[in-house]
Amino acid sequence: MNKITYSISVCFSVSLQKTVEGFGGSSVVFPCRYDKQLQDLTAHWRYNDIKNVYDIQAGRGSAREQHQDYTGRTQVFSHEFVKGNFSLKVENLRLTDAGTYCCYIIDVNYQECTALSVKGMMK
Ligand SMILES: *[C@@H]1O[C@H](CO)[C@@H](O)[C@H](O)[C@H]1NC(C)=O
């Protein structure tokens, strides 16, 4: 009995994925939280594993190789990096932004994903 309970809970925690809802024209913050201090980390924010949404390189935010769909619409909070908070804000949401956003912290092989759904424009 104990064994069954254990395997179910492990399975559940692996498949668990957060979902956020946004409205067209509004903004959303995708969480990426690591509970240990990381110096000069490298992390990648990706959309559906394909598009480059944002990079953190050597501990600094960079939009240099960002996909043009996200030009001028993204922000990280560098003052929060020391707290292990690498969350990403995407502004002026479009219906086509719906999908899965993952942060990959390369140094520690950590990943955190959030599914986004976008509803019609805000009035
Ligand atoms: C991370 O930082 C953002 C921006 O300041 C904030 O909205 C968010 O609540 C923070 N997340 C955590 C887990 O502290």
Tokens of 68: 């043009």
Q: Where does residue 56 rank: exposed (0-12), middle (13-18), buried (19+ CB within 10 A)? A: buried
Asked if residue 8 has pLDDT above 60, the reply is no
Superfamily of domain 14-121: Immunoglobulins (2.60.40.10)
**pLDDT tens track for 77-102:** 999 999 999 999 999 999 999 999 99
pTM of the model: 0.85
Mean pLDDT for the chain?
88
Asked if residue 9 has pLDDT above 80, the reply is no
**pLDDT tens track for 30-58:** 999 999 888 899 999 999 999 999 999 99
Ligand 1 closest atom vs CA 87:
1
Q: 70-105 in b/e burial notation, b at 16+ Cβ within 10 A?
A: beebbbbeeeebeebebbbebeebeeebbeebbbbb
Ligand 1 centroid–CA 20 distance in Å is 15
Ligand 1 atom 14: residue of nearest CA: 85
Ligand 1 closest atom vs CA 80:
2
pLDDT on residue 12: 43
